[in-house]
Amino acid sequence: MDLLGHDFPFHSQALAGKRALICGASEGIGAATARMMAKAGASTVVAARSIEKLDALVEDLNGLGPGPHTAMVLDLEDLPAVQAAVESLQEEGPVHVLVNNAGGPPGGALIDADVEEFIAPFQRHLHAAHTLVKGLAPGMEQAGYGRILQIISTSVKEPIPNIGVSNTLRGAMASWAKTLSRELAPCITINNVLPGFTATGRLSSLANSIQARTGKSAEDVHQGWMDQVPIDRLIDPLETAATLTYLALPAAGAIRGVSLAVDGGRLRSI
- Given a cut of 90, whether residue 197 has pLDDT beyond it is no
Residues sharing a CB contact under 8 Å with residue 195, sequence separation 6 or more, in sequence order? 29, 151, 153, 154, 235, 240, 262, 263
Contact assessment for residue 266 and residue 234, using Cβ atoms and an 8 Å cutoff? no
pLDDT score recorded for residue 183: 98
The confidence score (pLDDT) of residue 120 equals: 96
Contact 165, 105 (CB under 8 A): yes
pLDDT at residue 207, rounded to an integer: 63
Determine the average pLDDT of the residues in 188-197.
96
Please state, in angstroms and rounded to a whole number, the distance separating the CA atoms of residues 254 and 256. Answer: 6
pLDDT band at 205 (very low <50, low <70, confident <90, very high): low
Structure-model confidence comparison of residues 6 and 209, the more confident one: 6
Per-residue model confidence (pLDDT) at position 92: 93
Rounded mean pLDDT, 177-190 = 98
The pLDDT-based confidence of 225 (bands split at 50, 70, 90) is: confident
Express each pLDDT in 11-22 by its tens digit.
Answer: 999 999 999 999
Per-residue confidence (pLDDT) for residue 226, from 0 to 100: 79
**pLDDT greater than 70 at residue 88:** yes
What phi and psi, each to the nearest 5 degrees, are found at residue 165? -65, -40
For 8, phi and psi rounded to 5 degrees?
A: -55, 125
Q: What pLDDT is attached to residue 146? A: 98
Q: CB neighbours (10 Å) of residue 16?
A: 13
Report the C-alpha gap between 45 and 95 in whole angstroms: 9
Nearest to 255 by CA among 242, 243, 267, 269: 243
* Higher-confidence position of 1 and 89: 89
Residues 191/257, Cβ–Cβ less than 8 Å: yes
Mean of the per-residue pLDDT values of the chain: 93
Minimum mean pLDDT range among 82-86, 117-121, 128-132, 226-230: 226-230
pLDDT value of residue 104: 87
Query: What pLDDT shows up at residue 171?
Result: 96
Q: Is residue 125 very low, low, confident or very high in pLDDT (cuts 50, 70, 90)?
A: very high
Q: With bands split at pLDDT 50, 70 and 90, how would you rate the model's confidence at 216? A: confident
In this model, does residue 210 exceed pLDDT 80?
Answer: no
**What is the spatial distance between Cα 29 and Cα 128, in angstroms, rounded to a whole number?**
18
Q: Vertex 104, ends 166 and 231: CA angle to 5°?
A: 85
pLDDT tens profile 127-169: 999 999 999 999 999 999 999 999 999 999 999 888 999 999 9
Enumerate residues 6+ apart whose C-beta is below 8 A from 141: 185, 187, 188
Domains of the chain with bracketed CATH: 19-199+235-262 (3.40.50.720)
Q: What is the pTM of this model?
A: 0.93
Tens of pLDDT, residues 39-78? 999 999 999 999 999 999 999 999 999 999 999 999 999 9
Q: What are phi and psi of 47, to 5 degrees?
A: -125, 140
